[in-house]
Amino acid sequence: MIIDMHMHEMRYSGDSFLRLENMVEIAKRRGLDGICITDHDSMGLKEFAAEYSEKTGFPIFVGIEFYSLQGDIVAFGIEDYPKERIPAQEFVDLVQAQGGMCFSAHPFRNNNRGLEENLKIVKGLDGIEVLNGSTLYEANRKAAEYAAELGIATVGSSDCHVPEKLGLYATYFPREIRSVQELIRSVKRCETLPVYYKEGGYYLWDMKNPIDAPFHIYEQEQMVCAG
């Protein structure tokens, strides 16, 4: 399955121009198998998203993009979250205590919203977003190098706020993901691979060579990996 792991919906992310109904429509057209709504410091869409997912039969998972004191962290599988900014380590500990999963969002984006060098300080992160649709290539590449060094999962996300960016980057899962628990399990097992959308198909990033970043085509019925 290919899932966009980090997206914003206008009801609870004031900077988004996307409604869930439109997001699902575009996602299907682009070839995504599921989407994740990760609004800014909110999980307010959770109930509606669950109802709409059941109605359409399209997987929709709701998490949160939490702005910690050191930078943005995307989390899934939690019920309680802070209503004010707290240190990154405290937030990660809170997520893990609830059996959730979290990854660093755009850690090296040039807007002071990423964890940056705190990636090596904060303990308990399950992954790093190494492809982000609103981040420069050099920053994404640096994130990939850190993920390789730390030996944690790599994910790709569009971080979309407008229709044009939806599904630009996403994450490949080698198994069906039908629940948040299955999503969490696959990330914790490092089963994820970042993918890139181009000309009607998805390309799989070869993480064995993150500096040169070659891509390999992904078809709906068949994946061709490097090596």
pLDDT at 224 over 80: no
Q: How many residues does the chain have?
A: 227
pLDDT at 219 over 80: no
Three-class SS of residue 20?
helix
29: left (phi over 0), alpha (psi -120 to 50) or beta: alpha
Residue 207 pLDDT grade (very low, low, confident, very high; cuts 50, 70, 90): low
pLDDT at 35 over 70: yes
pLDDT at 212 over 70: no
What domains, with CATH codes, occur in the chain? 2-218 (3.20.20.140)
Q: Between β-strands 34-40 and 60-68, what pairing exists: parallel, antiparallel or unpaired?
A: parallel
pLDDT at 209 over 60: no
Average pLDDT score over residue span 66-92: 98
Q: What sections of the chain are H helices per DSSP?
A: 20-30, 46-56, 88-97, 137-150, 180-188
Q: In terms of pLDDT, which residue wins out, 39 or 209? A: 39
- For position 208, what pLDDT does the model report? 58
